[in-house]
C-alpha cells in the first residue's frame, strides 16, 4: 500500500498475500479451426485436395479439418497435458514455482507449465503410385519441443480497489498454455512437356559428349583403344565378308574349304564329306517314304484283288474329276480334233467325258482319257492301285506330280516312284511350272455320287480307248 501517492513509489509498501494455481478444465477437447492454404508462383491462393493426419485422410477443401482437436495434436506428438515437464527446473525456486534441487528432475505437469508443439505441413504434387495425378496433397506431422521455461502469453494486473488505485490490492495473473508453431516443407509443381523434352535432350547430349570426349582421349593416348573398346581384332570384318559371300560356292574368305568337313570313323579316319552324307541321307529318307507309302496289309489286299480272292467289303467308290476349265477344255479339244468327220453322238461323248471312275485294283491312265489329248502325255502315264478308300499313284514316265492337302504344294513324281493320295488330293499328268498353258491334266480324287456294282463297271484301256464290259441283260 502507498502512504503518500505524491511520493510514489517511495512511499509504497509491497507484500505477498498468497499464490494460487489454476487451469482450464479439459482444454484437450477444444476444436482447432485449422485451414491450410498455399500460394502459387502467380500469387493465387489454393487449398490441397487431400490432407493426411494421424493415418486419416481428410478433404482439404471442404472444412473437414475443423474436427481436429488439441488432443489429436498431443497424441500425434506423443505427449499429454498430465505428463510431468521434466525439462523445466529453476534451481533455487520453490517447487510451487517450478523450482527443484540441483540435479533433480522434479517439475510440474504440462497442464501448468504449458507446452510447445511444432506442426509441419509437407506439400507434394508428385505421387509415385499415381504418376498421372498432379493434385496437391498435404501431410501434417506434430513434434513436441522440449523447453526449460514457462509458456505464457504474459502477465496482467488486476486492481482490487478501483476507487483508490494507489492503496488497492493488486492481483497479478500469468496464463500458461499451448504454443503451436507451424512450418511448411516439400515441393509443389505441375507437369510440363517442354521441361521434359529439354531434360531428355540434355541427357542424350551429355551422354554423347561423354562418349565423344572419352573416345578422343583414348584414341590420342593409344592406337589400340578402339579395338580394345569393341573387342575387335579383325574377326568382325572377316565375318561380315563371309556373310556377304555366303551365296558364292567358292566361299571366299572362309579359312577352310567345305570339302575339309568330313565324317570320321571310330579310328579317327576321314570318310565322306558332310555335304555328301546329307545328300545320301535325303535319298535314303525318300526311298523309305516311297516304301512306306503303301502298308504291307494294303499290299496283300491289292494282291488279293488281282487274284480274285478279295472278300467283298463295301467301300465308297472314288473317281478322278478333271479340274480344267470346261470352256478351255472344249477349245483345246476343238483345236486338236481330227479332220475326219464324226457322228454327233461321238462328238457329244468326247466333250462330256471329264471324269475317270476308279475301281478296286490296278488301272492305267494317260492320253486319250477324259479329254486329255496332249502329245506330251503318254497313253500309259500313271498306274493307279485303288485299295479301300485311298489310291497309290505310280509314275511310269517323268513329268507327273501330286498335290496332297497335308503337304499343301505340288510334288514332282519321277518315273517308277509312287505316292498315296486320299479324297481331296490332286494328281497332274504333266507338271509345267511357269510355262504357257500351265499344268496339263489336273484331276482331283473325289467320291462317286452313285454306288455301282464293281463287276459291271470294270474297264480297260486298249490303244488309248477306254473299253467297258457289256451290261448284263
Task: Kindly give, in sequence order, each residue whose CB lies less than 8 Å from that of residue 67, ignoring residues fewer than 6 positions away.
Answer: 31
Q: Rounded to an integer, what distance in angstroms lies between the CA atom of residue 449 and that of residue 12? A: 142
In a domain, 79, yes or no: yes
Predicted confidence pLDDT, tens digits, the chain (473 residues): 555 555 555 666 666 666 666 667 788 888 888 888 888 877 888 889 899 998 888 888 877 787 888 899 999 999 998 888 877 765 556 655 555 654 444 567 888 888 899 999 999 988 888 877 888 999 999 999 988 777 777 777 776 666 665 555 677 777 788 888 999 988 887 777 888 899 999 998 888 888 888 888 888 888 777 767 766 556 667 777 777 776 676 666 666 666 777 887 878 888 888 888 888 888 878 766 655 555 545 555 655 655 555 556 667 888 888 886 555 555 555 665 555 555 555 554 444 568 888 888 788 888 888 878 888 888 888 888 887 778 888 888 888 988 888 777 888 888 888 888 888 899 998 888 777 767 888 899 988 865 444 455 555 555 555 555 555 55
In a domain, 244, yes or no: no
Please name the residue that has the C-alpha cell 516312284: 417
**Same-domain pairing of 270 and 315:** no
In a domain, 322, yes or no: yes
In a domain, 198, yes or no: yes
Strands 170-176 and 152-159 come out as antiparallel
**Three-state SS at 275:** helix
In a domain, 395, yes or no: yes
> Phi/psi zone of residue 186: left (φ > 0), alpha (ψ -120 to 50 degrees), beta?
left
**Same-domain pairing of 89 and 227:** no
Residue 354: CATH number of its domain: 2.60.200.20
Domain of residue 455, residue span: 296-336+348-468
Closest alpha carbon to 410 in 386, 382, 439: 439
**Same-domain pairing of 70 and 153:** yes
* Sheet containing strand 137-144, strands side by side: 56-59, 50-53, 137-144, 115-124, 178-187
Inter-residue contact 125 to 187 (CB < 8 Å) = yes
**Same-domain pairing of 265 and 323:** no
**Three-state SS at 33:** coil
Q: Which triple of cell numbers denotes residue 333?
A: 479339244
Beta bridge partners of 121: 140, 184
In a domain, 246, yes or no: no
In a domain, 243, yes or no: no
Task: Kindly give, in sequence order, each residue whose CB lies less than 8 Å from that of residue 361, ignoring residues fewer than 6 positions away.
Answer: 302, 305, 306, 385, 386, 458
Closest alpha carbon to 139 in 126, 120, 152: 120
The domain total for the chain is 4
In a domain, 302, yes or no: yes
Q: Rounded to an integer, what distance in angstroms lies between the CA atom of residue 106 and that of residue 112? A: 14
Q: Rounded to an integer, what distance in angstroms lies between the CA atom of residue 76 and that of residue 117? A: 10
7-13's contacts with Cβ under 8 Å and 24+ in sequence apart are 8/166, 12/166
**Same-domain pairing of 381 and 273:** no
* Sheet containing strand 410-412, strands side by side: 355-358, 318-322, 440-447, 426-430, 401-403, 410-412
Buried b (16+ CB within 10 A) or exposed e, 184-220: eebebeeeeeeeeeeeeeeeeeeeeeeeeeeeeeeee
Q: What predicted TM-score, i.e. pTM, was given to this entire model?
A: 0.38
pLDDT of the residue at 209: 87
**Same-domain pairing of 309 and 395:** yes
**Same-domain pairing of 208 and 120:** no
Q: Which triple of cell numbers denotes residue 323?
A: 479340274
**Same-domain pairing of 214 and 330:** no
Task: Tell which of 145, 169, 187 closes a domain.
Answer: 187
**Same-domain pairing of 215 and 141:** no
How many degrees, rounded to 5, is the angle at CA 295 between CA 294 and CA 298?
85
How many degrees, rounded to 5, is the angle at CA 166 between CA 164 and CA 168?
65
| Residue 161 CB coordination number (10 Å) | 12
pLDDT of the residue at 143: 93
**Same-domain pairing of 31 and 160:** yes
Q: Which triple of cell numbers denotes residue 329?
A: 477344255
**Same-domain pairing of 67 and 139:** yes
Closest alpha carbon to 304 in 360, 365, 363: 360
pLDDT of the residue at 104: 47
**Same-domain pairing of 276 and 405:** no
Amino acid at each position: 500500500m502507498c502512504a503518500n501517492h505524491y511520493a510514489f513509489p517511495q512511499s509504497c509498501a509491497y507484500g505477498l498475500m498468497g499464490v494460487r494455481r489454476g487451469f482450464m478444465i479439459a482444454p484437450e477437447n477444444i476444436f482447432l479451426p485449422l485451414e491450410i492454404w498455399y500460394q502459387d508462383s502467380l500469387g493465387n491462393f489454393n487449398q490441397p485436395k487431400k490432407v493426411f493426419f494421424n493415418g486419416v485422410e481428410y478433404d482439404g477443401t471442404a472444412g473437414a479439418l475443423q474436427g481436429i482437436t488439441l488432443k489429436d495434436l498431443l497424441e500425434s506428438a506423443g505427449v499429454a497435458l498430465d505428463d510431468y515437464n521434466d525439462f523445466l527446473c529453476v534451481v533455487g525456486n520453490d517447487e510451487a514455482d517450478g523450482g527443484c534441487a540441483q540435479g533433480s528432475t522434479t517439475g510440474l505437469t504440462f497442464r501448468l507449465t504449458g507446452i510447445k508443439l511444432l506442426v509441419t505441413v509437407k506439400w507434394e504434387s508428385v505421387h509415385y503410385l499415381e504418376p498421372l495425378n498432379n493434385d496437391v496433397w498435404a501431410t501434417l506431422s506434430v513434434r513436441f519441443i522440449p523447453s526449460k521455461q514457462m509458456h505464457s502469453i504474459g502477465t496482467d494486473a488486476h486492481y482490487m480497489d478501483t476507487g483508490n488505485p494507489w492503496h488497492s490490492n493488486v492481483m497479478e495473473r500469468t496464463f500458461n498454455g499451448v504454443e503451436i508453431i507451424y512450418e511448411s516443407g516439400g515441393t509443389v509443381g505441375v507437369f510440363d512437356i517442354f521441361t521434359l523434352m529439354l531434360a531428355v535432350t540434355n541427357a542424350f547430349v551429355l551422354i554423347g559428349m561423354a562418349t565423344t570426349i572419352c573416345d578422343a582421349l583414348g584414341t590420342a593416348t593409344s592406337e589400340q583403344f578402339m579395338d580394345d573398346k569393341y573387342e575387335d581384332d579383325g574377326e568382325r570384318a572377316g565375318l561380315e565378308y563371309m556373310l556377304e559371300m555366303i551365296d558364292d560356292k567358292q566361299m571366299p574368305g572362309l579359312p577352310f574349304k567345305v570339302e575339309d568337313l568330313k565324317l570320321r570313323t571310330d579310328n579317327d579316319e576321314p570318310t565322306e564329306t558332310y555335304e555328301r552324307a546329307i545328300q545320301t541321307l535325303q535319298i535314303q529318307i525318300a526311298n523309305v517314304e516311297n516304301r512306306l507309302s503303301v502298308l504291307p496289309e494294303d499290299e496283300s489286299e491289292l494282291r488279293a484283288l488281282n487274284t480274285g480272292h478279295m472278300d467283298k467289303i463295301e467301300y465308297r467308290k472314288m473317281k478322278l474329276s478333271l479340274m480344267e476349265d470346261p470352256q478351255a477344255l472344249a477349245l483345246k479339244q476343238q483345236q486338236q480334233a481330227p479332220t475326219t468327220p464324226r457322228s454327233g453322238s461321238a462328238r457329244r461323248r468326247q466333250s462330256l467325258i471329264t471324269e475317270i471312275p476308279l475301281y478296286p485294283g490296278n488301272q492305267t491312265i494317260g492320253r486319250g482319257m477324259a479329254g486329255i489329248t496332249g502329245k506330251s502325255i503318254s497313253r500309259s502315264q500313271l498306274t493307279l492301285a485303288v485299295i479301300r478308300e485311298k489310291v497309290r499313284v505310280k509314275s511310269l514316265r517323268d513329268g507327273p506330280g501330286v498335290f496332297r492337302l497335308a503337304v499343301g504344294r505340288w510334288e514332282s513324281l519321277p518315273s517308277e516312284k509312287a505316292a498315296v493320295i486320299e479324297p481331296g488330293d490332286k494328281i497332274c499328268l504333266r507338271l509345267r511350272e511357269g510355262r504357257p498353258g500351265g499344268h496339263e491334266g489336273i484331276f482331283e480324287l473325289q467320291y462317286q455320287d452313285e454306288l455301282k456294282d464293281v463287276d459291271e463297271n470294270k474297264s480297260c484301256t486298249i490303244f488309248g480307248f477306254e473299253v467297258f464290259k457289256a451290261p448284263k441283260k
